[in-house]
């Protein structure tokens, strides 16, 4: 048995790293923005709101389900109002990822708050306006 057969393999060569341009300006090949959300994301939020308003959820059990015909326009209004509030709070676009995260958190909280306000007001309106059959005396 030759001694070179037992010698450990040489370590792999380090990967070549391209030098960064002068001034430290890194131009990534990939870029993303947290805020504002894409239209696709906003549409997904609306779909989820419709499911929450009209579906079999704890919110519906407590405050009453919203008919599907009413859930879609309500969900669109809730999302649009929350988006506008978040956009106004951030001045439109976020300058950094951290600001984008803050704007997205604000938007999420606004969606939740407005959803809850909507179902509570709808429930209160339903309690204030009893069905006409109950108001009529029985003969």
pLDDT, tens digit, 9 for 90 and up, residues 90-127 = 887 888 889 999 999 999 999 999 999 999 999 888 77
Q: What is this structure's pTM?
A: 0.69
Q: What residues make up the domain containing 62?
A: 39-123
Q: What is the pLDDT of residues 12-45, one digit of tens each?
A: 555 544 454 555 555 557 777 889 999 999 999 9
Residue 75 included in any domain = yes
Q: At what angle do helices 39-54 and 97-128 cross, to 10 degrees?
A: 30
Domain holding 100: CATH number? 1.10.246.200
Confidence bin at 134 (pLDDT 50/70/90) = very low
Joined tokens for residue 24: 């430290």
Residue 12 included in any domain = no
Q: What is the pLDDT of residues 42-95, one digit of tens each?
A: 999 999 999 999 999 999 999 999 998 999 999 999 999 999 999 999 887 888
Residue 136 included in any domain = no
Residue 25 included in any domain = no
- What is the number of structural domains in the chain? 1
Output the pLDDT for position 77.
Answer: 98
Joined tokens for residue 97: 């990822």
HEC readout, 80-135: HHHHHHHHHHHCCCCCCHHHHHHHHHHHHHHHHHHHHHHHHHHHHHHHHCCCHHHH
SS3 68: helix
Residue 16 included in any domain = no
Cα 100 from Cα 37, distance rounded (Å): 9
Cα 79 from Cα 48, distance rounded (Å): 10
Residue 55 included in any domain = yes
The answer to whether residue 133 scores a pLDDT higher than 70 is: no
Residue 131 included in any domain = no
Residue 108 included in any domain = yes
């Amino acid at each position: 048995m030759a001694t070179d057969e037992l010698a450990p393999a040489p370590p792999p060569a380090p990967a070549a790293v391209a030098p960064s341009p002068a001034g430290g300006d890194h131009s990534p090949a990939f870029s993303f923005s947290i805020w504002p959300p894409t239209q696709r994301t906003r549409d997904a939020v609306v779909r989820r709101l419709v499911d929450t308003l009209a579906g079999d959820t704890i919110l519906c059990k407590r405050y009453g389900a919203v008919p599907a015909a009413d859930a879609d326009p309500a969900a669109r209004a809730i999302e649009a109002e929350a988006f506008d509030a978040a956009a106004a709070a951030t001045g439109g676009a976020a300058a950094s990822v951290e600001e984008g995260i803050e704007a997205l958190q604000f938007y999420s909280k606004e969606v939740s708050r407005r959803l809850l306000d909507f179902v509570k007001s709808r429930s209160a309106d339903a309690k204030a306006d009893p069905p006409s059959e109950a108001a009529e005396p029985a003969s």
